[in-house]
Every structure is written in structure tokens, then in C-alpha cells.
Amino acid sequence: AYYGPARAVGGDFYDFIPLPDGRIGVVVGDVTDKGVPAALVMARTHSVLRGEAPRLVRPGAVLARANELLTREMPANMFVTCLYAVLDPTTGAFTFANAGHNLPYLRTADGVTELRATGMPLGLLPDMTYDEVEATIGAAESLLLYSDGIIEAHDPGGAMYGFPRLRDDLRIDLAGSELLDRLLEQLHAFTGAGWEQEDDITLVTLQRMSSALHVGGGA
């Protein structure tokens, strides 16, 4: 995984949470705003997810419980987008629910596709429910989770990096830290040397090997 805050502290977060039966909770989130206020909300959200995930396990239930707790205490004009998944490393089963976060990209031999699931961000409205979507990461396939800091970056002329560009960049046959290095190289080539980072950037990649899943490291 890679995390690059826009300021000294930021509001993005990611985590890998041990679950029963050898499964792993995978979470990526993004708090509105940047700096210290976002970092405080991020820390609280991260704590809630860490506490509830091993108990509730299922992604929809975990996000619903997190939303219930966070709605009571969320500062005005703030919310959290979050994607939470349960991964079975032995089978590649990837079950996830989405609270307003960017959709993950799955790269297979047939190309790059989005895994679609939608839901309200955390902390906005009470009594929200979150549908679960099931997918499988097959042998030699990879998955990318990310925050909007990369897609909303601008070049010197004001053009946005955007979803299509990120999707095209994922077509290259790289995985783990090599893939993240390449994505960051492409981003920096697009924004130019004088770029001032506008938002936190988080990238998490998962690569399924022939008999196990490898969690990639970042630059």
C-alpha cells in the first residue's frame, strides 16, 4: 500500500484487519477536508472499524454499525467515504460493501473492470444499509483500491487525471510495489515537476498468486 498526505497529517486511511478463519478485512477510507480535523475523524473511524470488524465480520453489517456510531458525533459538513471488504486468501473470494467510496478496479486477462457497489458515506444519515457484492480474485489477477486524491490531481493546464487515465494505467502487467511505483510515475509525469498535491493519495493493491494472495508494498 501507498499513503501520501497532502499536508503533515491527512484524512485518508487503509488497514488490513485479521478476522476469524484466516480471513482478512481490507478497508480504504477518505474523510472530507484535510489536515488536523480530517485526521481526528479518520482516527475515530479507523478505531470503530477495527473494533467492529472482528465482531460483525460481514462488510454490510460493519459499515452500518460504523455509520450508526459516527452519525452521532460527526462534525458539521464532514463525512467519510469507505470501502470495506472481507478477503479469503485461500480462495480469492472478495466480498465488499461501499459507503460512497471510489469503485475498485480488477485486472484480469480480459482487461480492467470496475467492481460496483454503492451506499451513502458514513456519518451523514442514520439507519443506512449497505449491500454486499461478491467477487473473486483469480490466479494472476490483481485489484486496486484507491482514494480520489489521484484521480482529482490536475496538470499545469487544469486537466484532471481522471478515472479513464487511471484505468488505462492499470492495463500494464505489473503487480505489488512495481504497479504502485508505475502509477505514481505516471501521475507525476502528468502533473509536472511543480505540482502542489491537492489531496491525500492512498493506493492499495492485492495480487493473487497461483496458490495464495500477496499484499503488495508501496514506494
Query: What's the pLDDT at 98?
Result: 98
The answer to pTM > 0.75 is yes
Question: Can you give 116-167 as a three-state secondary structure string?
Answer: CCCCCCECCCCCCCCCCEEEECCCCCEEEEECHHHHCCECCCCCECHHHHHH
Q: Are 166 and 175 a contacting pair, CB within 8 Å?
A: no
Those residues with Cβ within 8 angstroms of residue 194's Cβ, 6 or more apart along the chain or in another chain: 156
Could you give the CA distance from residue 79 to residue 90 in angstroms, rounded to a whole number? 34
Chunked in runs of 10, what are the mean pLDDT values of the chain (219 residues)? Answer: 84 94 96 84 95 96 97 92 96 97 94 94 96 95 94 92 94 88 94 85 89 45
Query: What's the pLDDT at 36?
Result: 84
Query: What's the pLDDT at 214?
Result: 46
Query: What's the pLDDT at 39?
Result: 87
Instruction: Kindly report the number of other CB atoms within 10 A of residue 105's CB atom.
Output: 20
Query: What's the pLDDT at 7?
Result: 76
Nearest to 119 by CA among 133, 134, 101: 101
Query: What's the pLDDT at 150?
Result: 94
Query: What's the pLDDT at 217?
Result: 43
Query: What's the pLDDT at 210?
Result: 63
Could you give the CA distance from residue 26 to residue 97 in angstroms, rounded to a whole number? 11
Instruction: Kindly report the number of other CB atoms within 10 A of residue 101's CB atom.
Output: 26
Query: What's the pLDDT at 211?
Result: 55
Could you give the CA distance from residue 194 to residue 40 in angstroms, rounded to a whole number? 30
